[in-house]
């Protein structure tokens, strides 16, 4: 460590976004310690569903079917049903190695982690969709009760920084909640989908959305219901392509 780095370490120390360990100052604003680099299951290193972004535990069964897809997306494709979103990309798997740091961020206890999370989201998007040019970035709207509880909008901050990392414009307040609904973490998969049906509307008119390619940012992707409803609202106004992105996604197991 150089003399300047030593000074920066003590004056402006960074903390690993996942475990909180102190780290040397980083000019990029990305802080992931060497231990978490090994433990966290980053999606760039593993098979993920090419539609919903879910990390796959056993991917070999579906290899070769126009990309690796999870059982749910495969079943939907066979049935002829279509999702409103075109794709979801997550930076890592949501599990015991990543959840602690993400939960702290969601609760407003580690705002500095936003740069790290935005950086790994942007890197995954650039790596997986190198030819896609986004017109703008938007954020999933929070429940008003959550804003009152933690005092900030974690998706707004994450989306701002992701947009900056990708050098794409950010549109604040692109969505509004048509109704509040229940807290998603308290519901099952089917209940989540029912709870969010028709919950989001876009404040943007067709003149701003027709033919556009849009990136929508959330913190954690579970069933994909939130992203589905946001994409539906955008597609109804003429958006051509909607990609969702999140810090982490829950996995799928292929038997």
3-state secondary structure of 61: helix
Q: How many CB atoms lie within 10 A of CB 22?
A: 12
What are the tens digits of pLDDT across the range 199-238?
789 999 999 999 999 999 999 999 899 999 999 999 999 9
H/E element, 105: helix 99-106
- Provide φ and ψ at 33, rounded to 5°: -70, 165
What are the tens digits of pLDDT across the range 77-92?
899 888 999 999 999 9
4: pLDDT confidence band, cut at 50, 70 and 90? very low
The pLDDT value recorded for residue 158 is 97
Work out the burial of residue 84: count CB atoms within 10 Å of its CB; fewer than 13 is exposed, 13-18 middle, 19 or more buried.
middle
In the chain, the domains with their CATH numbers are: 1-39 (no CATH), 46-249 (3.40.50.2020)
H/E element, 114: helix 113-128
The pLDDT value recorded for residue 143 is 76
Separation between Cα atoms, residue 249 and residue 39, nearest integer Å: 16
* Model confidence at 144: pLDDT above 80: no
pTM for this prediction: 0.85
The pLDDT value recorded for residue 164 is 97
Separation between Cα atoms, residue 94 and residue 130, nearest integer Å: 24
Cβ neighbours for 219, distance < 8 A, ≥ 6 positions apart: 102, 105, 106, 154, 155, 158, 246, 247, 248
What are the tens digits of pLDDT across the range 14-67?
899 999 999 988 888 899 999 999 999 999 888 899 999 999 875 444 444 445
The pLDDT value recorded for residue 114 is 96
Separation between Cα atoms, residue 228 and residue 84, nearest integer Å: 6
What are the tens digits of pLDDT across the range 103-140?
999 998 998 999 999 999 999 999 999 999 999 999 99
The pLDDT value recorded for residue 84 is 94
Separation between Cα atoms, residue 220 and residue 99, nearest integer Å: 10
200 neighbors 177 (Cβ within 8 angstroms):
yes
């Amino acid at each position: 460590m150089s003399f300047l780095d030593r000074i920066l370490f003590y004056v402006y120390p960074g903390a690993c976004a996942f475990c909180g360990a102190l780290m040397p100052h980083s000019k990029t604003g990305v802080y992931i310690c060497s231990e978490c680099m090994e433990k966290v299951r980053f999606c760039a290193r593993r098979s993920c569903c090419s539609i919903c972004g879910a990390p796959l535990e056993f991917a070999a069964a579906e290899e070769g079917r126009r990309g690796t897809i999870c059982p749910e997306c495969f079943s939907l494709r066979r049935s002829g049903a279509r999702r409103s979103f075109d794709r979801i990309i997550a930076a890592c798997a949501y599990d015991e190695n990543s959840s602690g740091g993400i939960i702290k961020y969601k609760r407003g206890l580690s705002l500095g982690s936003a740069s790290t999370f935005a950086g790994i989201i942007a890197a995954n998007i650039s790596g997986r969709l190198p030819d896609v040019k986004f017109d703008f970035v938007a954020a999933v709207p929070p429940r008003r009760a959550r804003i009152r509880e933690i005092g900030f909008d974690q998706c707004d901050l994450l989306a701002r920084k992701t947009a900056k990392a990708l050098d794409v414009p950010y549109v604040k307040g692109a969505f509004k909640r048509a109704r509040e609904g229940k807290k998603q973490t308290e519901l099952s998969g089917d209940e989540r989908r029912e709870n969010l049906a028709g919950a989001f509307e876009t404040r943007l008119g067709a003149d701003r959305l027709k033919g556009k390619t849009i990136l929508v940012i959330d913190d954690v992707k579970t069933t994909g219901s939130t992203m589905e409803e946001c994409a539906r609202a955008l597609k109804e106004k003429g958006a051509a392509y909607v990609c969702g992105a999140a810090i982490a996604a829950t996995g799928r197991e292929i038997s």
